[in-house]
Chains A and B, each alone.
Chain A
Amino acid sequence: MSTVPTDVKTVQPADFKSDVHNDWCPGCGDFGVISAVQMALAKLQVPPHRVAVISGIGCAGKSAHYMNAYSFHTLHGRVMPSVTAMKLANHDLTVIGVGGDGDAYGIGGGHFVAGGRRNLNITYVVMNNDVYALTKGQASPTIAKGQKTKSMSEASIMDAINPILLALACGYTFVARGYALDTKYLSEIIAQAIEHRGSALVDVLQTCPTYNDLHTKGFYAGQIEGQPRLYRLDQTGYDPIVHNPDDPVEIAQKKAQALLKSQEPGGRIPLGVYYKLDVPTYEDHLKAKIPGLQEKPLAELDLYHRDITPNLQELM
């Protein structure tokens, strides 16, 4: 992550707001997520011009326009390839991917998998509201079997993807879950994700007031057997951190612990960091073999005066 130049004024969340009219529905959970991203960046004092925000397509995809940063509103499902290349082009930038659940886990599923095992130092915030909202509420990969929102013509006959489990299997080294309407805590989780050196997934439970009448504000505020449905892992003594990254047994145990937490019987949903592993990133491995990257990011290197004489001599 970039260091903050001393002559730059203190960065505020408002610095990350663009002046574009926001056309999300009133009460949309997306507002909470983008605010949390802005708060997290301000907390970490990253200046806007050192941030690249890359979004997919759909309501969540519009986030790029509402951010004041280098912003790319890309293609449906292709957040991760774009995030990957932006980070490779300039490893000093803070690169944040933003997309919906259909974008990340459906059409972008293959890229999501590869992004985990690559372990670049990037953050992926997934706005998970169980529906394809911009196309008027079709079922997304996170809607469970038997569930039917008011926008669906019939109940789903497929199982839901478990994003936490999927991320663990793919190799994300930071796996967390937030809730869009608890913006303050979400911003803390996102800040931790950005600070984490490695690929970080923040799956954000989110309401869609227009199409999802199952997972509403009331649903998430509800109780299960006298206990709140949503609760914070860090208030239960849960330790997500792998303390010895060289110990495969501890890695397996911490993954297993996260796995169990991601599918708690009874339907309670933990928020916070499920799993965190600190190991060398993709950039670290690249720097080890490509000397120039130890000095500067790729985009800042002079690659335009290369001598190919040795390449030609090899062919003589």
Chain B
Amino acid sequence: MIGGPQGSGLNVSAEILAKALSRSGYYVFGQIEYHSNIKGKHSAYKLRISGEHVSSHLDAVHLLSSLDEETLIGDLYHEFPAHRGHVHEIAAGGALLYDVEQKKFIELIDRKDIFLWEMPYAELLDRALTEAGKPGQARAYRIMTNTLALGASVGALGFDFEPVALAIRDSFGAKAGKVADLNVNAARYAYDYAKERFAGQLKFGLPAAPPKREQILVKGSQAVGMAKIKAGCGLQTYYPISPATDESVYLEGYQSDHNLVVLQTEDEVSAIDAAVMGAHGGVRASTSTSGPGFALMPEGLGFAAITEAPGPVLVLYQRGGPSTGLPTRQEQGDLLFALNAGQGDIPRIVMASGDIEECFYDTFDAFNYADRYQVPVILLVDKHMASCYQTLPPFKTSHLKIDRGLVKPANTNGDYQRYAFSKEGVSPRSVPGQAGGIFWSTSDEHDPRGHITEGIGNRLAMMEKRMGKVALAAREIPDGKKYIYLGPAAPQKIPVLAICWGSTKGAVHDALHHADPHHAKYAMLHIRLMSPFPAEAVKNILSRAERVVCFDGNYSGQLARLIRTETGVSVHHSVVKYDGRPFSEDEIMVALGAAKAGAPERLAISEGRVIEPGHGNVEFDKMLELRETNPKMLAPMVPLPPGYNR
């Protein structure tokens, strides 16, 4: 982990290291926590480095690189402190790399079980600057401390410097030259210093690098953006909002390369309406937003539905709510909102991606569903998915087929009806501009030509037509795209069934894989399609499970509630997390350990443990007490459940 103030370049450093490791064959998973702030507030970036594929982070930190004292002791000086730093997260046998300038805070740390490694960053930076003909300017170049911290981490880990040097140069792109040289040199001084003194001491060194292979290092927002390009999206609309904006900014960078129009609108109302009309206009259209933006979109969602637009695809990056909530923090709080937003019965498809690979393929499929069923398609992702960083094999695209659905035949002689009744509910669509294809479309209830009518028979038929398309989708979408089940085959019993959705899949998958690789004891049911919900299949799996534990990154257990609504079955334990942070791998096992006969139906998790109501106040009071007494508060982290070994 690297911690420091926002704007200090720690993201860049972490991502340079991730890239160097990825190119050397390692599997990497990166998780970032940051404030809704531009400069100064605390940010922390975790990199998990592995010899095998990983899709989640751990609570335990093995090497902490600190860029400031807040990383060490938190913000206890603040009237309402937010955290107590990260030293207590370091596992026994781990190490802390810190700048000599932070020395006075180090004296407060009461950890005999970790290495405390001091780095003279300013002095090392001055050496690099002197070499570059800029002696005595270390203060002016202080921003480069993150590069030195990067070098120090790499040296302490005993990893080669060359891949890191290359990745540093790449990060400067076209600017590479004297500035890149200076950064590489500075990193090298820190690398040499740390390697000589600290390498080989850590109990957890780097695993042996797996054989090199082609892999990408990708964020969820990039995977969604790339899939939109591949799917032929012509119009992307958006209004800036964390954490959805990254995807639109990514797409903006490819407008020229791929003939793509990205429209920044005046608000999210406009963003969805423009996407709906873009779809009617003949292009594949999409928009991306987060909860507060989606709150402005139900009107447009209904409009898309009643006018049977082929889309849009709406990617909803959930974040902590309600209202503005936690703009840059994790929550899976919009599941039921996405399913129910809008007045009346709105036919819609709601998908939820579980990992970055699913983000790519789901986004691609979403456009096909939009065209094939002429309904709005919502793809649920979240802040964690958007910003986490993972090594993956490059996405395969040769098997991907574009399906633009039913279009009006060329030879309709003036008798074309845009909303003609049909057995399956889908009517061939026409694209404005072509002769013989004129149609009318309205947000009012309408007849097959698209003109307003309030007649009873027509109303019944139109409702059944629109809603029937969702039933059609339920019949056509393959099971593997509705849910993923890993566990004993029917009719065998399932001892423990862990149900998850969205980005929680990574933590659940990794936890079960490490605890029970063959899923004999712990089975996983990951739900990918929320509307139409695979009720029968889920019910069948639930009927074989002796203990069902459902993981939800929200307060009220929204997936557990949805399962009850759709199947009539209540899960035994609803595990919820609403602290604004994603589930870690450790927390999954903690929860599964806690979920046994007699345990409460609702289990709340935070910071690696099951919490009781009022836990937050207790934690807060503890911090205040620490401030009052002394800041030697850095007790070792919560131990893992017995027998659980990574």
Contact = CB atoms under 8 A, between A and B. Distances in A.
Interface of A: 18, 20, 47-50, 52, 54, 57, 62, 64-65, 68-75, 78, 80-86, 88-90, 92-93, 110-111, 113-114, 286, 289-293, 297-301, 303-304, 306, 308, 310-312, 315-316
A73 B444 contact: yes
B263 A84 contact: yes
B276 interface: yes
B303 interface: yes
Interface in B59-112: none
B35 to A, nearest CB: 27
Contacts of A57: 443
Interface in B409-438: 431-438
A88 B255 CA distance: 13
Contacts of B257: 310
B452 A315 contact: no
Closest 3 pairs (CB-CB, A-B): A89-B281, A299-B282, A292-B259
A312 B234 contact: no
Contact of A85 (B215, B281, B303, B437): B281
Contacts, number: 198
A88 B258 contact: no
B266 A111 contact: yes
A82 B274 contact: yes
B395 interface: yes
B281 A86 contact: yes
Given A299-B234, A312-B394, A75 B443 contact: yes
B307 A72 contact: yes
Given A72-B440, A88-B261, A303-B258, 10 more contacts: A70-B439, A71-B441, A81-B265, A85-B263, A85-B275, A89-B280, A301-B234, A303-B233, A303-B234, A310-B257
Interface string B256-283: 1111110101110111011111101111
A174 B616 CA distance: 59
B232 interface: yes
B222 interface: yes
* B interface majority secondary structure: mixed
B589 interface: no
20 contacts: A49-B435, A50-B433, A65-B451, A71-B450, A72-B277, A81-B270, A85-B275, A86-B278, A90-B433, A114-B265, A114-B266, A290-B259, A298-B259, A298-B261, A299-B283, A303-B258, A304-B232, A306-B229, A308-B226, A316-B214
Nearest to A84: B274
Contacts of B255: 289-290
Contacts of B281: 52, 85-86, 88-90, 299
Given A303-B233, A308-B397, A85 B444 contact: no
For B226, B254, B266, B276, the residue with the greatest tally of chain A CB atoms inside 10 Å of its CB is B266
Given A89-B234, A306-B230, A70 B438 contact: yes
Interface in B443-466: 443-444, 450-452
A116 to B, nearest CB: 11
For A48, A52, A54, the residue with the greatest tally of chain B CB atoms inside 10 Å of its CB is A52
B218 interface: yes
Contact of B273 (A47, A49, A78, A300): A78
A299 B230 CA distance: 16
Contact of B438 (A49, A54, A303): A49
Interface of B: 23, 214-218, 222, 226, 229-230, 232-235, 237, 254-261, 263, 265-267, 269-271, 273-278, 280-285, 299-300, 303, 307, 394-395, 397, 402, 431-444, 450-452
B270 A74 contact: no
For A71, A85, A113, the residue with the greatest tally of chain B CB atoms inside 10 Å of its CB is A85
Nearest to B431: A299
Nearest to A295: B259
B544 to A, nearest CB: 40
Contact of B263 (A47, A65, A88, A93): A88
B6 to A, nearest CB: 24
A308 B230 contact: yes
Nearest to A303: B232
A49 B270 contact: no
Contacts of A18: 440
Contacts of B259: 290-293, 298, 301, 303
A114 B271 CA distance: 12
Contact of B284 (A71, A114, A303): A303
A70 B266 contact: no
A297 B434 CA distance: 13
A303 B236 CA distance: 13
A128 to B, nearest CB: 22
